[in-house]
């Protein structure tokens, strides 16, 4: 056991998701009960680390939070302390490396190590802090399930439950009004949420970034269903889906964010296009948006989050710094942060990277076997 570590800091960075509080619970209780180590939580991600905004975490403060979505520490996806925006009185903005200020804050508080819970942007900064000599362990987080370094991330299962529930409700409205319903879900450049949510939610068409779609193929599927006497269709589309020879739909650019390109709106575009091509149907659009992030945490995400938290502390206390916990099969193991986010500067193209759906894989082939279209014919 590393007896030099007497106080641990926690941050939750990036977008919120269900299961974060389970991780915080697992870290805090393991640190206190098993190792006699104090725990401090920094609020609003790396911003709290820089502004010295924190709260002490004890057994009482993490009691009863397992089921809650979001994070009791709050979060931010805009604060890169190695490239931090400094706003000046004249309205101009310059960028500065303030990582040393954050490290000084930790030393002042007597914090010996940090556990960072987040996605690729948050973990990239964790890697960079580790390079400066800070003992760090990472915990993977994203509802998109697009981190290749772990079989699955917490938050994904809860999001799928939300999507499936929404699809069930939309299905009855589509049937009652003979409508074509387009449902847009998150996922960035990976189609896992749309694929698995569409399978469980009885979608007729699934559109994902990994399989560019042809609009005429979607129209053909709708008319095939009409001819079969099923005068309604439900289409689920990932926010990163795009038409053949086209490009993704960008909702906005957030300049001061590590993930500056925000996708969204492709479902609305498809709805407008389909309404002109199949005027015999009403075509309606629903974007599930941020409801996919919140709500009561599923049993799976509570368990996985808790296991990640417990194992993160064990890893840290046994000298495994500069690593991230991961799920491989049924076992929690770990991997160097350098292998998770790379060794250099990160950055995504418009169509991104990460763990993506295999168009020839079992999930897609099973969907095609039961008649689901991916708009690629």
Helix crossing, 20-35 with 299-317: angle to 10°? 40
Identify whether residues 268 and 183 lie together within a single domain. Answer: yes
349 inside domain = no
Whether residues 263 and 335 share a domain: the answer is no
Whether residues 196 and 113 fall in one domain: no
Looking at the structure, tell me whether residues 257 and 323 fall in a common domain: no
pLDDT at 1 over 80: no
Question: What does residue 203 show for φ and ψ, rounded to 5 degrees?
Answer: -70, 150
Q: Provide the pLDDT for residue 284.
A: 98
pLDDT at 84 over 70: yes
- For residue 166, the domain's CATH number is 3.40.50.460
Tokens of 186: 């998150």
Tell me the residue range of the domain where 210 lies: 158-293+357-369
Q: Which of 98, 114, 140, 146 has its CA nearest to residue 42?
A: 114
Q: Are residues 47 and 64 in the same domain?
A: yes
Two tokens, residue 274 = 């389909």
User: If pLDDT is split at 50, 70 and 90, which confidence band does 257 have?
Assistant: low
> Is 17 in the same domain as 147?
yes
Span 3-21, pLDDT tens digits = 799 999 999 998 899 999 9
Give the number of other CB atoms < 10 A from CB of residue 292.
Answer: 26
Question: Does one domain contain both 189 and 92?
Answer: no
Higher pLDDT, 251 or 59: 59
CB-based contact 141:175 (threshold 8 Å): no
227 domain-assigned: yes
Q: Helices 299-317 & 156-177, crossing angle to 10 degrees? A: 160
Nearest-angstrom CA–CA distance, 248 and 32:
47
Answer yes or no: are the C-beta atoms of 74 and 87 closer than 8 Å: no
User: Does residue 377 sit within a domain?
Assistant: no
Q: Answer yes or no: are the C-beta atoms of 13 and 121 closer than 8 Å.
A: yes
Q: State the pLDDT at residue 350.
A: 35
In this predicted structure, the answer to whether residue 77 has a pLDDT above a threshold of 50 is yes
Q: Does residue 2 belong to any structural domain of this protein? A: no
User: What per-residue confidence (pLDDT) applies to 352?
Assistant: 45
Tell me, yes or no, whether 347 lies in a domain.
no
- Point out the least confidently predicted range of 90-104, 191-205, 217-231, 240-254: 240-254
CB-based contacts of 277, cutoff 8 Å, min separation 6? 215, 216, 219
pTM: 0.92
Are both 231 and 162 inside the same structural domain? yes
- Domain check: are 224 and 247 in the same one? yes
Query: What whole-number distance in Å separates Cα of residue 329 and Cα of residue 148?
Result: 13
Average pLDDT, the chain: 93
Same domain, 287 and 309: no
Token pair belonging to 236: 């689920």
Residue 166 to residue 170: CA distance in whole angstroms: 6
Based on the fold, state whether residues 228 and 319 are members of the same structural domain.
no
- In contact, 191 and 241? CB cutoff 8 Å: yes
The answer to whether 358 is a known catalytic residue is no
Indicate whether 218 belongs to any domain. yes
The answer, yes or no, to whether residue 207 has pLDDT greater than 70, is: yes
68 vs 235: CA distance, rounded Å: 30
Q: What percent of the chain has pLDDT over 90?
A: 85
Q: Examine residue 350 and state whether it is found in any structural domain, yes or no.
A: no
- Number of structural domains in the chain: 2
| Choice between 233 and 119, residue whose per-residue pLDDT is larger | 233
Question: Per-residue confidence at 261, pLDDT binned at 50, 70, 90?
Answer: confident
Catalytic: which of 79, 112, 120, 144? 144
Are 31 and 145 contained in the same domain?
Answer: yes
């Amino acid at each position: 056991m590393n007896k030099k570590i007497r106080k641990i800091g926690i941050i939750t960075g990036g977008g919120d998701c269900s299961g974060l509080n389970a991780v915080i619970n697992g870290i805090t209780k393991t640190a206190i009960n098993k190792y006699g180590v104090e725990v401090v939580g920094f609020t609003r991600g790396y911003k709290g680390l820089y502004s010295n905004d924190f709260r002490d975490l004890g057994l009482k403060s993490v009691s009863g939070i397992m089921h809650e979505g979001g994070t009791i520490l709050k979060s931010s996806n805009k604060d890169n302390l190695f490239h931090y925006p400094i706003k000046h009185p004249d309205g101009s903005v310059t960028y500065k490396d303030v990582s040393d200020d954050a490290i000084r804050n930790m030393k002042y508080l007597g914090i010996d190590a940090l556990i960072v819970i987040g996605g690729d942007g948050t973990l990239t900064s964790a890697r960079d802090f580790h390079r400066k000599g800070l003992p760090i362990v990472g915990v993977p987080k994203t509802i998109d399930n697009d981190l290749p370094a772990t079989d699955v991330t917490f938050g994904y299962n809860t999001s799928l439950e939300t999507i499936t529930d929404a699809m069930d409700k939309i299905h009855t409205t589509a049937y009652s009004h003979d409508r074509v319903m387009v449902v847009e879900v998150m996922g960035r450049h990976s189609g896992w949420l749309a694929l698995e949510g569409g399978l469980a939610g009885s979608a007729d068409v699934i559109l994902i970034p990994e399989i560019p779609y042809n609009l005429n193929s979607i129209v053909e599927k709708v008319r095939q269903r009409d001819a079969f006497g099923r005068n309604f269709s439900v289409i689920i589309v990932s926010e990163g889906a795009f038409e053949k020879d086209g490009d993704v739909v960008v909702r906005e650019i957030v300049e001061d964010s590590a993930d500056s390109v925000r996708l969204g709106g492709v479902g609305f575009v498809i709805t407008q296009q389909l309404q002109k091509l199949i005027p015999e149907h009403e075509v309606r659009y629903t974007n599930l948006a941020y409801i996919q992030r919140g709500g009561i945490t599923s049993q799976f995400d509570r368990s996985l989050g808790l296991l990640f938290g417990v194992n993160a502390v064990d890893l840290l206390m046994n000298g495994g710094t500069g690593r991230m916990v991961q799920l491989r099969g049924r076992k929690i193991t770990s991997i160097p942060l350098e292998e998770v986010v790379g060794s250099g500067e990160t950055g995504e193209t418009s169509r991104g990277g990460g763990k993506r759906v295999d168009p020839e894989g079992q999930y897609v082939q099973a969907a095609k076997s039961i008649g689901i279209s991916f708009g690629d014919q």
